[in-house]
Structure 1
Amino acid sequence: MPHTMKTIFNVLDEQSFRYVWRLSLLMVLILLILSILFGNVIFLEPFYIFPITIVSWYGSKKSGLILATVSTILLLSIRAIDAELTPLALLSYGLPCLLSFSILAILITNFRNVHRVESAAAYTDTLTHINNSRCFYHELSNEMVRSLRYKHRLSLVYLDIDNFKLINDSRGHGEGDNLLIAVAKSLTESLRKTDIVARLGGDEFACLLRETGQDEAKSAFSKATDLLKKRMKSGRWPVTFSIGLVTFEKMPEDTKEAMRIADELMYSVKNSAKDDISYMVWNGNA
């Protein structure tokens, strides 16, 4: 059952709000028909929480309150048709429904907002405000699945700052933090919005270039290295970068293997001349 619910929410996550709104209205309509047919036998009011919850989670507080009001009006209409009730009787029935549905919509929306903030924090590097390693591995895993399914290539960049410890030791950790922020800013500004930039920890960064072959990756990342050099010169930081860029024509076994390949390529630069970028096309033979 939990797996089924997870699958349902995964499907809804990929849909537009218009789709979710129509689905919620359809659920209310089905409940309305069932209430007309079996209202005297089955107490269906609690089931209205499902469409209200869905539209509140994927929409806004306003949309949740609108559906709560619509549901209450429809339930009141059925009661008015089934029996001749006094205005006071209708009020005593409708007001609790409206309050319950409205409170539910508000609570769901507030919980969703808190959930989104906490989820974003869990996937964000606190210093640079870009993605952290947890987020990067998650995105890389998803992209590898997509690449296998649609036969796409992807390119993976592993970047390490040379002589970063020297900055921390000579100028203090505050200046080191400023350098890391400048690197993060340079990478995010120079790459596409669809690419994933992350700080893995310390002075190591990674970039995921979606649906990108070797030539495209070289062209895209040359802009990044140019901006990095410009920013380092502007900040008077005497550092360079050791970079490994791997293009996967075939997907490796898992994300750890992909990162290992990129990491080893980066260290081949770091252990030799530094201040360089090494390229590789991986097709499963390495």
Structure 2
Amino acid sequence: MRSTRGRLTFAEEEPRRGPRWIARGLILTLVALVGLGAWFGGRNLFDSVMGPRCQATAAGNTVDFDPEQMSNAATITALALKRGLPARAATIALATAIQESKLRNIRYGDRDSVGLFQQRPSQGWGTVEQILDPEYSTNKFYDALVKVDDWENGTITVVAQEVQRSAYPEAYADHEQEGRILASALAGHSPRGFACRLDDPEREADVAMIGRLLDNEYSLKPTAGDGTLSVTAPNDQIAWSVASWSVAKAIDTGITGVTIGDRQWTRSRDSDAWTWQEAESPAPARQVLLHLT
């Protein structure tokens, strides 16, 4: 179409308006993307600040992970103690699992790698089903670790690489401090160094699961009481390890509180859940009381 009486027809307007509309569309798209990113960023920040979270503190340093990650960290640490290994073993295993899977029991990875330590069935670590069992995969890691010459004194990069054969061995060292803090708090070397802020449990505490996990990961058997389970530890350090482990496992088991000595952790989303409060009814020496209601 052509111009008529000084007015431009649609055919003549289109070339001029097109670039403007494209620019506006790009701007609107950019604004939408920025807004979406801000929403997700704000949600992640909210979850990290206000959502369920766990903290481990040792020597004045603190690390935090979500409850799922801390539950796996507790298993890794407990099995080191069960095997009579020093905290150094747990530090190496935790740093490795942080690097390999971010302490998540994932079902995917490079080639056929799966699980906390990204172990490969094709390399003889076990079946996929076995490796996806955190207790099995952790024990397989320790089986390989103790065969490394001078693993107790070697640098974490060298020792972890001997076990894992990673393409990026230097990355293990990046998580050594996190591993140390987690190992110290969860192994009982830093009493009151572990706590979680959690939602109320969705179901009743699973007594059978608690008993099975304590047996598998500590070789300890609880005694049932009135709304509690009592665990007797061989010494104060192991007692604090069991107490911290019980807090970490509360997300899985439904535990609502833990008492050790004159201190008690009570499940809550309040800030009080970050600390061990004074217990109304102290527990006997070397005993840990797990509250189920």
TM-score (structure 1 length as normaliser): 0.30
Task: Tell which has more relative contact order, 1 or 2 (C-alpha 8 A, sep 6+).
Answer: 2
Larger-gyration structure (1/2):
1
Structure (1/2) with the larger helix percentage: 1
